[in-house]
């Protein structure tokens, strides 16, 4: 059985005790310590280097998001919060899961099982790379003060904007601080297609394909945007979508 180490960062002593009680049913997890605020948590994480972090969001002075931004190496993070709306923001920070307080034992066990499955899969992979996200996976996106919870399947395009990537879904197009290559690595390549150097499209959102100049194709998305596919990629696009 896989073994894990964990720490708790939570300002409420009652909530810390609740988590410790829930962890008693999971002998595969060793609790290395607990902290009641961000600064203590930062020190604890750097000293112990845990596999798993149970992190409260709403804490005085500095919140859970501040802690994640302070860390160079972020453990698998499960947010614990009494406020549902914080869950949306959490996925911008690559949170693995979130638990609403008071935490249900069944929901807690399900979350731990997901962590173990993730680590088991990672350790058995030849190159130890993360599997592509499934289409029904929800991710959190934050741009300034706005944040969204979005299913991968609802994103119809990604586009390079300098050092950022713009994400297109519904009537929104926020920026995230990731390269298009980093984004592409996490997406299912049978659905997301690199149209050109700047744009990555979801083929399930393609409305129309027309022949264009010099052997290129031009795509009209369901949203109305037009995307020109490079000549080399046009050949690959036709090959991928042919019978």
Tens digits of pLDDT across the chain (243 residues):
578 899 999 999 999 999 999 999 999 999 999 999 999 999 999 999 998 999 998 898 898 888 887 876 778 899 998 876 655 555 555 567 888 889 999 999 999 998 888 776 555 443 433 456 788 888 888 888 788 888 899 999 999 987 789 999 999 999 988 888 888 888 988 999 999 888 999 999 999 999 988 788 999 999 999 999 988 888 888 888 875
pLDDT at 185 (0 to 100): 84
Chain Cα centroid distance, residue 191: 18
Specify whether the CB–CB gap between 199 and 227 falls below 8 A. Answer: yes
> Tokens for 1?
């059985």
pLDDT at 36 (0 to 100): 96
pLDDT at 90 (0 to 100): 55
Distance, CA of 90 to CA of 68 (rounded, Å): 10
């Amino acid at each position: 059985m896989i073994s894990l180490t964990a720490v708790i960062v939570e300002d409420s002593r009652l909530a810390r005790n609740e988590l410790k009680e829930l962890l008693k049913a999971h002998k595969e997890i060793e609790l290395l310590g607990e902290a009641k605020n961000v600064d203590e948590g930062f020190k604890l994480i750097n000293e112990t280097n845990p596999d798993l972090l149970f992190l409260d969001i709403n804490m005085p002075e500095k919140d859970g998001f501040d802690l994640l931004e302070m860390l160079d190496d972020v453990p698998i993070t499960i947010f614990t919060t009494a406020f549902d709306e914080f869950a949306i923001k959490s996925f911008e920070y690559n949170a693995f899961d979130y638990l609403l307080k008071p935490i249900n034992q069944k929901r807690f066990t399900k979350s731990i099982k997901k962590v173990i499955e993730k680590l088991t899969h990672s350790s058995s992979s030849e190159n130890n790379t993360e599997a592509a996200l499934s289409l029904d996976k929800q991710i959190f996106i934050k741009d300034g003060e706005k944040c969204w919870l979005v299913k991968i399947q609802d994103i119809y395009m990604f586009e390079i904007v300098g050092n950022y990537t713009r994400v297109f879904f519904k009537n929104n197009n926020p920026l995230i601080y990731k390269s298009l290559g980093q984004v592409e690595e996490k997406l299912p390549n049978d659905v997301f297609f690199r149209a050109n150097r700047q744009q990555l499209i979801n083929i399930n959102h393609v409305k129309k394909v027309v022949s264009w100049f010099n052997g290129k194709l031009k795509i009209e998305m369901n949203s109305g945007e037009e995307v020109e596919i490079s000549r080399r990629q046009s050949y690959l696009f036709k090959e991928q979508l042919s019978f």
